[in-house]
Amino acid sequence: MTVVNLSFAACGFMGIYQLGAVGAFLRHGNMLLASMRACAGASAGALVASVVITAPDKLEHCKEFTYRFASNIRRQTFGPLTPGYDFMMELRDGIEDILPSNAHLLANERLHISITNSRTGKNSMVSSFTSRDDLIKVLLASSFVPIYAGLKPVEFQGQKWIDGGFTDSIPILPVGRTITVSPFSGSQDVCPRHTGRRKLHLRVANMSIIFSKDNIKRLNQALFPPSLPRMQAIHQEGYEDALRFLRTEGWMQ
């Protein structure tokens, strides 16, 4: 049986697409999941990967938190940049509520999180966690976009870290096949179909995406979440794209 991994792209609030894809995997992808060795991700993708590895039973909870978090952002006058609003605190509260007490034990060597050193600008992949708090710190570091999410990078092991999406936005693991999931049209295994005629591919932090109006719109929605009905539609799109992948690969159950 082929060893496979799942990798989830950095994508901000478009992570709701990836949660939809995970829903399809959990419901119809038992053959795939039985072969799964590890999960990887950057930023929101790392959060999705952590749910797959440590708390798949909390998927619905995670979806509702994402909707609530997005709603709180939309209510702010200047979004996450609104004075007095603490983006990272709300994110941490959500992570604390979702991850089980033994999350770090479940995650060791099975969850690979992309983070970026704020001083050197170099990428690091973290897959070893001595405590649940260490795991949460790394997840927060992988999601920290300077200015947007705050002014102080996340400290971990004596160094300061920022969003892993800046340097490796969709990690490929060295052993087995890595199945990639992204809400941006491109060459990833699970992603939206490109509807235009021309396909100009761009390589951005190791992720191949198509330069298009739709992807520009998705990038904006990643930072400034759209309405609840639109987020629900994006979630459903992720679910259906993952189903198409499972059928194409012969993993559908």
Please list the pLDDT of the chain residue by residue as tens digits (253 residues).
578 999 999 999 999 999 999 999 999 999 999 999 999 999 999 999 999 999 999 999 999 999 999 999 999 999 898 999 999 999 999 999 999 999 999 999 999 999 999 999 999 999 999 999 999 999 999 999 999 998 899 999 999 999 999 999 999 999 999 999 999 998 999 999 987 776 777 777 778 888 888 989 999 999 999 999 999 999 999 999 999 999 999 998 7
Per-residue pLDDT at 79: 87
**Rg of the Cα atoms in the chain:** 17
CATH code of 62's domain: 3.40.1090
Q: Specify whether the CB–CB gap between 129 and 108 falls below 8 A.
A: yes
pTM comes to: 0.95
Within 13 Å and on the Cβ side, how many CA atoms surround 132? 11
Number of domains in the chain: 1
Secondary structure (3-state) at 182: coil
- Chain segment 211-238, per-residue pLDDT in tens: 888 989 999 999 999 999 999 999 999 9
Domain of residue 108 covers 4-249
Per-residue pLDDT at 200: 75
Within the chain, where are the H helices?
15-28, 30-35, 44-54, 59-75, 87-98, 103-107, 132-142, 213-223, 228-249
Q: Which residues are known to be catalytic?
A: 43, 163
Place of tokens 């951005």: 204
Cα diameter, the chain: 53
* 143 backbone dihedrals φ, ψ, rounded to 5°: -105, 0
Q: Distance between CA atoms of 68 and 81, rounded to whole angstroms?
A: 18
- Chain segment 167-190, per-residue pLDDT in tens: 999 999 999 999 999 999 989 999
